[in-house]
Structure 1
Amino acid sequence: MTSDAAAKPLSLTIATRESQLALWQAEHVQALLAARGHGVQLLGMTTRGDQILDRSLSKVGGKGLFVKELEVALEEGRADIAVHSLKDVPMELPEGFALGCVMEREDPRDAFVSPRWASLEDVPQGGVIGTSSLRRQVLLAALRPDLRIEPLRGNVNTRLRKLDEGQYDAIVLAAAGLKRLGLHERIRAIFTPEQMLPAAGQGALGIEVRAGRADLIEALAPLAHQRTWLTVTAERAVSRAMGGSCSMPLAAHGQWQADGTLHLRAAWGELQAGAPLVNAEGSAQVATLAEADALGLAVAQRLQSAGARGAH
C-alpha cells in the first residue's frame, strides 16, 4: 500500500453511468480523491445497458453492457478511471484494462421491498415478485415455488415506481443500492445469505483503469480495502470458472471467520420449476489475490462435481 502523502496530486476524470446510483458512486469516489488533493471531474455517459430496457440483460449481452462505453472513454483518453458496481463488471476484463482498486463493501445482501407485505413469507400464494436477476429467480423459486416471478428492469427509482404502481406485490433489490441512495425506509426485510446467497461482488465498488497506469494505482491505493478485494476476488473466481455472466443463475459469497479464514459459498440453479439448487463451499487462509483465486476455483470445481453446469 502507498501512503496518502506519496501519491502526487493528479487531474482526473471519472467515467460514470448517469443513473442516480452510478452518479452517487462516482461522486463518492470523487470526494475521497479530492480530499487527498486530486482535481476530479465527472464524465457522465449513457450505456447500452441503460438504453435497452425491454429485454433481460441475459438475452442482450449481459452486464458488460453497463461498462463498455466507459472502457471506450478510458481507451480514448477522455477519462482516467471508471467507477463500477463490481457485480456489473465482467469476470474477464478486456486486454489493456485492470481493476485498479476495490473499495470497502457496503451491505452485500438482497433486500425485500414491498408496500404491502413485511416479508417474503407473507406474500400470498400466486403473488408477483419482480426481478430480472437469474440468480434471484432461482433462489426465490427455491424459497417460494408458489409465487410468480416477473421481469423487472430499469434503475432503482424506476423499479420502485413500478412496484408502487401495483405491477408487483414485492421486488428484490440489492440492499447496498437502496442504502447508498438514502432509501433505507423502503427495505421491509433483508435476506440472510442463508436464505438468498448474494451475487459475486455485490455491494462492492470497483475502479477500472488502463493497465500500466502506475500513477492511478498509486493515487487509488488509499481507497482500497484489502479484505473486500480478497473476498470479491474469490467470489469472482467461482463465476469465472463457471463461465460466469449474468446469463447464468449463480451466487457466490465469501465471509471472514473469527480465525482469519475466508469461508466461500456458492449456489447454482436451473430456471425450470422444481430443479434442485446445487451448493458448494470451502474455506482457506487467504492473504493474496492468487490465494483468493485458488479458493474460488476450488469451490467452482466442487459445484461442478455436484452437478452444476457452466455457461458455454
Structure 2
Amino acid sequence: MAKTIRIGTRDSELALWQAHTVQDQLENLGYKTELISVKSTGDLILDKPLYELGITGIFTKTLDVAMINGDVDIAVHSMKDVPTQLPNGIVQGAVLPRAATEDIFVFKKDKNATDFTKSVTIATGSLRRKAQWLNKYPKHQVVDLRGNVNTRLQKVADNDWAGAVFAKAGLERINLKPENHEVLDWMIPAPAQGAMVIAVMDNDAFCKEACAKLNDADAALTTKVEREFLRKLEGGCTAPIGAIAKIEDDHIHFHGALFSLDGTQKLEIKESIPVSECLDFGALCALKILEEGGRELMEAIKKEL
C-alpha cells in the first residue's frame, strides 16, 4: 500500500466533510491519502440559476479534468450532482451507505409555522423543487437561491422569504440542520439524493480495489435504478425529475415523476419488483412515463430552457 491516494474534492464545507469521510475510511483500511481541493464552475458563478449555465456536471467537471490530467486519483461527490453519463475513462468506484433522502423546508426563526394557505415566497435553486412546490402551492412565488449550504442558510435569514428548501442529508452532515424546519415528505427527492459516490479512473486498478471496499450494495443498487430513470427521461436535458427507490422484503419499490417547469403537469409512476429481476428497472419505469406524455413534456421543457 505504498501509493498515496490523492482525493479530489470541492472546497465547500459539505464537500470537504464528504472527502474527509472517505479519507478516514480509506486510512482505517491502511491506505495513505492526501486531500486536494478545487473550486468548480458551479461554486464560482453564483449570479445565475444552474439551468441557465447549460453545463452538464457543473459541480463535477473540474474534478473530472483533474483526474484525467493525473492531478488527483479519485474524486468524492454528492451523487445527485454527478451526470448519469460519466466521462470516458472514469468509472463509479463506490457508493457509500446512504444518508437521509428527504428534502426539508427551513423557515424563519420568528415563525412557529408557515401558513402555506397565504401567497408566500420561497427560495430554491432546483428546477425539481420549484416544480413540485408550484404543483402543490400554485399561488406561491419561487425565487432562485444559489451558493453553498452556509451561504444559502444566511440568505434565508437575510431575505423576506417564508423559507427555502434544502436536502436534509447535507444539513445533517455538517450539523447545520436548524430546529425551524419541516420534512417535505410529499416531495420526491432528486435521483441519488443523500448518496455519496467515489469516482475513479478505470485504468487505476489500485484505487478501484481500494474504493470497492467502501461500497454499499443496497445504496449502489437503489441509486442505479434512480439514475437509470433520470438518464432515460433526461436525454441530456435538465428537467424537473424526482426519483426514489427503496429495498424492502427483497423488493425494490420505486417512485418517480416528471414535472413541467411551472408545476402544472405531473407524470408519476410507482412500481415494485423483486430485487432479482431489477435489470433495467429504472429505464423501464422511465419508458412508461415517456409513453404516457413524457416525450411531449420533455420537448416542451427543452424549448422553455
Corresponding residue for residue 230 of structure 1: 221
Structure 1 counterpart of 2:62, one-letter code: E
Corresponding residue for residue 275 of structure 2: 286
Task: List structure 1 segments (4+ residues) > 4 angstroms apart after TM superposition.
Answer: 116-120
Asked if 1:261 is matched to 2:226, the reply is: no
SS of residue matched to 2:178: helix
Asked if 1:298 is matched to 2:284, the reply is: yes
Corresponding residue for residue 65 of structure 1: 58
Corresponding residue for residue 163 of structure 2: 170
> Structure 1 residues 228, 118: closer, same or farther in 2, change over 3 A?
farther
Asked if 1:250 is matched to 2:241, the reply is: yes
Structure 1 counterpart of 2:68, one-letter code: E
Hey, what's the Cα distance between the residues in 2 that align with 1:246 and 1:88? 14
1:179 to 172, 187, 191: 172
Contact kept, 8 Å, 2:202 with 2:208, in 1: the verdict is no
> Structure 1 residues 59, 186: closer, same or farther in 2, change over 3 A?
farther
1:211 to 190, 202, 205: 202
Root-mean-square deviation (Å): 1.8
In the TM superposition, residue 118 of structure 1 has moved relative to its aligned partner by 5.0
Hey, what's the Cα distance between the residues in 2 that align with 1:119 and 1:301? 40
Hey, what's the Cα distance between the residues in 2 that align with 1:145 and 1:113? 19
Contact kept, 8 Å, 2:255 with 2:271, in 1: the verdict is yes
Corresponding residue for residue 191 of structure 1: 184
Q: What residue ranges of structure 2 are gaps of 5+ in the alignment?
A: none
Hey, what's the Cα distance between the residues in 1 that align with 2:180 and 2:78? 20
Corresponding residue for residue 152 of structure 1: 145
SS of residue matched to 1:79: coil
Structure 2 counterpart of 1:295, one-letter code: F
In the TM superposition, residue 286 of structure 1 has moved relative to its aligned partner by 2.5
Hey, what's the Cα distance between the residues in 2 that align with 1:196 and 1:119? 18
Corresponding residue for residue 3 of structure 1: none
> Structure 1 residues 278, 150: closer, same or farther in 2, change over 3 A?
same
What's the TM-score once normalised by structure 2's chain length? 0.92
Hey, what's the Cα distance between the residues in 2 that align with 1:73 and 1:269? 35
What's the TM-score once normalised by structure 1's chain length? 0.90
Number of equivalences: 297
Corresponding residue for residue 68 of structure 2: 75
Hey, what's the Cα distance between the residues in 1 that align with 2:100 and 2:236? 22
Q: Deviation digits for residues 182-215 of structure 1, max 9, x if unmatched? A: 01334511111xx100110100001001112221
> Structure 1 residues 253, 69: closer, same or farther in 2, change over 3 A?
same
